[in-house]
Structure 1
Amino acid sequence: MSAPAQTKKQVPLPFAYTFAFGAIAGCTELLMLYPLDVVKTRQQLESGKGGTGMMQTFRNIIGTQGVSRLYKGIIPPLMLEAPKRAIKFGANGYWSGVLTSNGTRQNTQALALATGFLAGGTESVVVTPFELVKIRLQDKSTNFAGPIDVIKHAIKTEGVGSLYKGMEATFWRHWWWNGGYFATIFAVRNALPKPTSKKGELGNNLLAGTVGGFVGTALNTPFDVVKTRIQLHGTGEWAYPALLRLMREEGLSGMYKGFAPKVLRLAPGGGVLLLVVEALTTITRKRLGPPYNT
């Protein structure tokens, strides 16, 4: 009797391809759904109890400032998209290797949570200046012509270090989002039946990513609100005292201003990312041939 044929495994694509696909997918998602980020920021900058709803905020921006205002401040996020995605998942892979001794120790829910926390903290170091520039451009009363104008003004009036104002709040925003995101993905994947097809695997990943993103957003939105305000006004306030003051002055609803547009961006955004990456991966594997397309 002849030996059973061995199933050939597809060779992973080189890092340059996966890096480029992630960047292209991220920029595609950003271009399609960026207006929701502008609306989120406007809602978060409203002080006092209550606030303008999401749809009314949309109407106010378009009615008073035009449709183009929905894309104000998009250059910094576009510039950041490729390194941010590389750092997010690269840091997650690095810390996962550290905590599991390069795979010799079994990954657990607790380790997945710790890995996410550390990856988020790492990511915040790169993100902070870009976030500060974006927030100051998205403010409804901004007079800045563009990103360079914001940077020049910040350095001239407050010094180079001012570009990192809100760093501590940004750290906690990413700490909690990545922890919730990666830990939830781990839990959801383990809870779902093992997929028996590519379509099933895609469905599992889409569900896990969407639930993970929702949990991450629920955890980090209060920190996102205080970070946005700290970076706009350059107060240098610490995140947790600012959070307590926000809760005291504006209540729970104040802590979750901008939550609706964040979540609405999350679900379709995750779908866009997966569709673009899958399409580019399939096309590239066919063009490269074996051993990438076996």
Structure 2
Amino acid sequence: MVADADGKTSPLVSLLAGGIAGGVEAACTYPFEFAKTRVQLYGHEKGVRNPFYVVAKVAREEGLGALYKGCSTMIVGSIGKDAVRFVAFDKIRSLFEDPSTHRLGTAQSIGAGMVAGVVSSTVIVTPSERIKTALIDDAKTTQRFRSPWHCIVSLFREEGLRRALYSGYVTTTLKQIGTTGFRLGSYSAIKDWERARGVRDVDGPVVSFANGAVAGTVTTLATQPFDTVKTQAQRARATGTVEAVTTIMKQDGVRGFWRGTVMRLGRTVMAGGILFTANEQATKGIKAVLGQ
């Protein structure tokens, strides 16, 4: 069966729609992610703090294609991440929602999102983020990785499985708990609030984009320090979480934990809008194809 008996979205539809949405979002917003990562790694150096300058400089000196270094890894990771977390969120949400209204309170929505974040971080996010960050760092330094697969093999030989793919796991998971909790939780809460007040077409592309953008803004402001530490820990030469925190403090002090906020905020607002719009439209399209 593809659809549940009560007409709710089935896990298969959630998996497919979430994967499509994640791939679309990653492909559209990757230059923001590239610049944010460079600023987080080298923001203490002169002329590297402004993410827009980073984009212009890389495009001018290395070509536009360089802005997509590690993009394939990000797309694959995003497809898996969003497929897993939408499925996990839908199933976890169903355990706590009111059976008569199929709605959750704000705290329950955020809690369901946080649990989904742990699942997605463990299954797909930490390994894909580690490889993406290593590729972006390597492109500025040694330039020894020829491809994502070559990067994986090289790191595995040099550092073993745990450090090769799971460096920064703690901070990535904390970030995902916050990101998924705030993003999915706040998005769900906004939709429930709109439905309760009779807002029409809450699943339409315009409303979905606006709701996703609001959810993305909340998410970024709440989780930026975790993202910065995660990036520092996952550079080409992996470091521990404590060493990453110490490095950031030495370079920039407390404000260093908010490196890349502007670019990440821009990406997250766009990503939130694109992600939820693509997911809503993909869900509708898949259900139509499957005759639901």
Above 0.5 in TM-score?
yes
Partners of 1:120 and 1:200 lie apart in 2 by: 23
Q: TM-score, normalised by structure 2?
A: 0.81
Deviation at 1:94, TM superposition (A): 3.2
User: Does 2:132 match 1:134?
Assistant: yes
Task: Work out the CA distance in 1 between the residues paired with 2:104 and 2:202.
Answer: 26
Distance 1:151 1:72 in 2: 15
1:260 aligned onto 2:256: no
Give the conservation status (yes or no) of the 8 Å contact 1:49–1:249. no
1:284 CA drift (Å): 5.3
State the partner residue of 1:27: 23
Matched, 1:226 2:229: yes
Matches within 5 A, 1:1-294: 15-48=11-44, 51-98=48-95, 100=96, 103=99, 107-126=104-123, 127-139=125-137, 140-141=140-141, 142-162=143-163, 163-192=165-194, 194-198=197-201, 202-232=205-235, 233-238=237-242, 242-243=244-245, 246-247=248-249, 249-277=251-279, 279-280=281-282, 292=292
- 1:209 to partner: Cα distance: 2.0
Change (3 A) 1:249 1:42: closer
**RMSD after superposition:** 3.1
* CA–CA separation in structure 2 for the residues paired with 1:120 and 1:235: 23
| Identical amino acids, percent of aligned pairs | 26
Question: What's the CA shift for 1:39?
Answer: 0.6
1:102-138: CA deviation from partner (whole Å, max 9, x where unpaired): 8489732222222222221221112111111110111
Code of the residue aligned with 2:234 in structure 1: it is Q
Structure 1 Cα separation of the partners of residues 200 and 122 of structure 2 = 39
Larger Rg over CA atoms = 1
**Distance across 1 between alignment mates of 2:104 and 2:113:** 13
Q: Distance in 1 between matches of 2:14 and 2:191?
A: 22
Check 1:235–1:48 CA distance in 2 against 1; reply closer, same or farther (3 A cut): same
Shift of 1:251: 3.7
Report the residue type matching 2:239 in the other structure: T
Cα offsets for 1:150-203 (capped at 9, x unmatched): 111111111122121111111111111122223322443354463453268554
- The code of the aligned residue for 2:174 comes to W
Cα distance change on mapping 1:271 and 1:111 into 2, 3 Å: closer
Q: What TM-score results when the alignment is normalised by the length of structure 1?
A: 0.81
Q: CA deviation at 1:35?
A: 1.1
* Equivalent residues of 2:202, 2:208 under 8 A apart: no
Cα shift readout 1:6-55 (whole Å, capped 9, x = no counterpart): xxxx9566654443333233222222221111111001101538852121
Conservation of the 8 A alpha-carbon contact between 2:30 and 2:68: yes
Number of equivalences:
279
Partner Cα separation in structure 1 for residue 103 and residue 10 of structure 2 = 26
CA contact (8 A) 2:85 2:116 kept: yes
Q: Give the aligned residue type for 1:135.
A: T
In structure 1, runs of 5+ residues without a counterpart are 1-9
Following the alignment from structure 2 to structure 1, what is the Cα–Cα distance between the partners of residues 120 and 279?
22
